[in-house]
Every structure is written in C-alpha cells, then in structure tokens.
Amino acid sequence: MQDRLTETDQRLPMYQRVKDALTQRLAEGEWSRAEPLPSETVLAAEYGVAIGTVRKALEGLVAEGLLERQQGRGTFLRRPSFGNALFRFFRLSDGSGAIVPPRARILSRTIGQDEERARTLGLNPAAPLLVLFRERSIQDRPALVEEIALDAARFQPLSTLPLDAFGDLLYPLYEEVCGLLVVRAAETIRFSQATPPIAAALNIPTGTATAVIDRIAYGIDARPLEWRRSHGEAARFNYTIDLR
Amino acid sequence: MQDRLTETDQRLPMYQRVKDALTQRLAEGEWSRAEPLPSETVLAAEYGVAIGTVRKALEGLVAEGLLERQQGRGTFLRRPSFGNALFRFFRLSDGSGAIVPPRARILSRTIGQDEERARTLGLNPAAPLLVLFRERSIQDRPALVEEIALDAARFQPLSTLPLDAFGDLLYPLYEEVCGLLVVRAAETIRFSQATPPIAAALNIPTGTATAVIDRIAYGIDARPLEWRRSHGEAARFNYTIDLR
DNA sequence: GAGTGGTCTAGACCACGGA
DNA sequence: CCGTGGTCTAGACCACTCC
C-alpha cells in the first residue's frame, strides 16, 4: 500500500503527493458517489502519513470541487452542480414564476471532422468528432440551441444510443454510459445576432440579438471532454458573478 | 490581550472567533498594505490559542481574499485586483494590440436622493447619495459610460474634490481619501440597447446593442460601498468564467 | 455505541526573504 | 544569520450520523 506514492515527484510536499494519488484513484472511478472514500485514519495508514497530512490533501480536493465531506457520514465524490446551470444565465420565471425543468431534444447527430474543435478538445486535428445539435425549451418554447462536439472515440456509446433516450441532461449520461465525469467547465460569453438557422430554431426573427456561450467541460483528469456553443435570446440573458 | 475574544459568541469554533477578531482589526485599518500583520506566533500568544488555530483563521481570510501570505516575508492585507477589471469584459487590443490603460473622465457630480439605490446600498431610503457619471475611454475612443452611486456621508471628501483630480481608478481614491477599502464585488450582466444619452456618450447610434453591468462593491466589513452601472457596446463585450 | 469528520493542541523541521 | 510562513506529526476531545 505504502509504495503507492513512490512514482510521484519526491520533491513535492507529502500532502500534494497524497492529493495527486487520490485524484488518480478518483479518476479511475474507484468510488461511486454513494460510497464514501476510506476514512482519514485508513488513508493515513495506507499512505504512511499523519492524519493531518491526509486532511490537508482532502481539503485541497474539496476546494477544487472534487470531493464533499460530511461530518459523521464520510467523504464523497462530489456531483458538480453546474450541469443544467446554463439556465442560470437566463430568466426562467417565464410568467407563472414556477421553476420548470428545461426540456432537451436532440435535433441531429453526426460524426465528422473539424480541425479547430478537435484541437480545442486536445485531440488530433483529424480525429472524428461526434456532433450534436440540441434544443432546450421551457414550457414548450425554445430557449436555447446548442452545438456540442465530443471525441467520437471516448463517447462511442452515444453514437448508437437512440436520440430520444438522451434525456434532459447530458452530464449524467456521460457518466452512466461512458464513465466520464465532468468536473469543471470554462465559459465565454459574447454577444451576437441570430443567423437564419439559429433564428429558426429559436423561433425569433433573423438578426435578433443573441447571447452566445462557449463552454469547454473538463473531466476529472483535467482534460477537455466536451465543447459546447449555446445560443439564446439576448433579451432573456441575465447573469451574476462575484469578484474578489 | 487575551480577552479580545470574549465579546464574540462562545459557541463558535475558536478559529472562527480569531478570524472575526482579525477581520474587525483589519476593517479598522490597523495594518497598512506595506506592513505585515503580527506573525503567527505572536497572534497565537495574543489570543491564547495554538499556532495551528491562528493558521486556520489566517487561511480562511486568505480564501476570502482579505489577506496574502508570503513565505519568509509575512502576512499582508491584500490589494484586490478587480479594480480596473471591468475592462476584462471588453476587448482591449483595439488595433495596435498593446494594452493601453483606460482613461477616466468624470462627466458630472450631483448629490440627490434615490430610494431604490439607497436601499441597495443598505441606507435609509432618504439618505443623500453622491452620484457620478463617468466616461472611460481607450485611445480617446469612449468605451464605457458609468453611473456611480455612493453614500454621500461616508464619501464626503469626494463631494468637494476637483473633478479632474479623480484619476483613472476610483478604488484607490476611496481608500486614500475616504479610508474605505473595496474587498469584494458582485456583478450582473445583461444585454440592452443604447438610449439616446448613452448612445451619445458612447458615440454610437441610438438603439445599438449594449452590455450593461451592474456592480455592487463591498467593503471590508461586508457592507455595500458603491453601486455602479456600466454601459458598453455589446459587440466589444467578451467575458470568460470558470464553473465548478 | 461505533465510526465519521471537525476542532484544537503542541510541538518539530524545512524553505524562503531580508539584513 | 534570524524570523517568517510552509509542511508534517501525533495525539486529544467534540459533534454528528447511522444502526
């Protein structure tokens, strides 16, 4: 057990090496979300370090959003909460005020090449990509259209899954069907105008102001998993951030 | 020295009480940015706790962005870096590519009442507000217009300061002239269209798409200090965020 | 009651910065 | 060189969850 750390750089602080080792085990799916990690005491024994060192490693992983700790219960793999949070950007309380879960529908699925997006995903420029077009609507009114690019190799099961089996959220699907866990995402917001296809999909006039959000979602191993571009009507856009 | 903690809630964890006490001393301006806080050892002795407890309090304040620590040098009050970061939202590399510091010009200064904004600032609705209109430009081209509301009482020195003495950045001014330190801010982004006065100030046609950013800046005591609404051309808007 | 994480202590040694 | 924060240890007791 103890030599699990020997491969990592000896110059790094102990807690960092423990953290790296745990990250790798998390990435390999060693623990589900229902099942707690070994306790601090056990981990300390496994790695041959003091409990405080394990604690520091765990706290780091909590800070990075990989783990959740709960007193009396244990330490768990965290479920990222931004999965459907794109809708955080848009006003949801359309009329009734009740928060309705947005419905998703896959408009098309193709496999092809795209040099630029493959590069963005950290792949060989010629790598085949699985490309989805997706509509998300609230109360049967289209609110967003999304273009999604995935590594066709890693997401192979999705290329045969029936389109109506995709459900409303993709990230749980990635996890269940492909064993890939989204941990972090970076988004870029900018402003544009609806091109004819976008306008048609959103049911708004061509040229209407839109907000465009590009997202790159990263897996537990910090490599890009998904590229996504979402279009929505600018008038419905509303976003809040905290600065320090 | 040791009884400095007696006023705080006895049920709170020790490190929390130390943290609260330090926050208050920071808010009172006990340490400048050049001068380090007392060392961990000294603080531990002052508060009668173990060094690890002080460390946990300090780490919390670092996480909140109030402090910076540097090995071998000491622990320092942090200078928030978002002061001129509104321009993070907009494409700066206009032509030349070189990053030019944006110039600011105060267009007007008035004192008046505004119930809603006073409430936003946590003031009595009838409290007098100091309202500034400000233009910010890059290479002599207006890029942003801002409306800024402040508590006239707390920012009293600003009501008589010559308009051309305001400089390009307000937060250092708040600190130097009023002794008020901005620590955190919350921003809301939305898209709109330029009204005639905004269009005139930005030198764009009325009705052009704009990005509107509302900001509330908070002081070290976590109370709102400043309300600000910035308008810029939407086509120049570009913003990146990280989600977890 | 048994086991978990949360708080707290009291030390040791190391790495870095500055005089 | 001394003093700083950074790392690490080895315990203690408490608060919480679950059976």
Write out pLDDT tens, residues B134-183. 999 888 889 899 999 999 999 999 999 999 999 998 988 998 899 888 88
Strand C closer than 7 A to residue B15 Cβ: yes
Strand D closer than 7 A to residue B12 Cβ: no
Location of structure tokens 């809630």: B9
* CA torsion through residues A152, A156, A160, A164, sign: negative
Across the range A67-72, mean pLDDT stands at 91
From B182, which residue of chain A is nearest by alpha-carbon distance? A244
Which residues from chain B sit within 8 angstroms of residue A80, using beta carbons?
Answer: 244
Q: What is the pLDDT of residues A160-217, one digit of tens each?
A: 999 999 998 898 899 889 988 888 888 888 999 999 999 999 999 999 999 999 999 9
Torsion of Cα atoms, A226 then A229 then A234 then A237, to 10°: 0
Domain ranges of chain A: 2-77, 85-236
| pLDDT tops 90 at residue A156 | yes
Task: Quickly give A70 CA vs C2 C1' distance in Å.
Answer: 17
Nucleotide nearest to B59 (CA to C1'): D5
From A81, which residue of chain B is nearest by alpha-carbon distance? B244
From B214, which residue of chain A is nearest by alpha-carbon distance? A240
CB-based contact (8 Å) between B85 and chain A? Answer: yes
Buried b vs exposed e over A87-117: b needs ≥16 C-beta within 10 Å?
A: bebbebeeeeeeeeebebebeebeeeebeeb
Strand C closer than 7 A to residue B13 Cβ: yes
| pLDDT tops 50 at residue B217 | yes
CB-based contact (8 Å) between B234 and chain A? Answer: yes
Q: A75: burial class by Cβ within 10 Å (0-12, 13-18, 19+)?
A: buried
Nearest-angstrom CA–CA distance, B9 and A156: 57
Which residues from chain A sit within 8 angstroms of residue B187, using beta carbons?
Answer: 240-243
Q: What is the pLDDT of residues B103-130, one digit of tens each?
A: 899 999 999 999 999 999 999 999 999 9
Amino acid letter at A35? Answer: E
CB atoms within 10 A of CB A28: 11
CB-based contact (8 Å) between B88 and chain A? Answer: no
Nearest-angstrom CA–CA distance, A125 and A22: 32
Torsion of Cα atoms, A152 then A157 then A159 then A161, to 10°: -160
Which residue would you say has higher pLDDT here, B94 or B192?
A: B192
pTM over 0.85: no
Across the range A121-143, mean pLDDT stands at 93
CB-based contact (8 Å) between A185 and chain B? Answer: yes
Q: What is the pLDDT of residues A19-61, one digit of tens each?
A: 989 988 888 888 888 889 999 999 998 888 999 999 999 998 9
With beta carbons less than 8 A apart as the criterion, state whether A145 and A201 touch: yes
Nearest-angstrom CA–CA distance, B217 and A241: 12
CB-based contact (8 Å) between B204 and chain A? Answer: no
Whether B2-77 shares its CATH topology with B85-236 is answered no
- Say if domain B85-236 classifies as CATH 1.10.600.10: no
CATH assignment, B2-77: 1.10.10.10
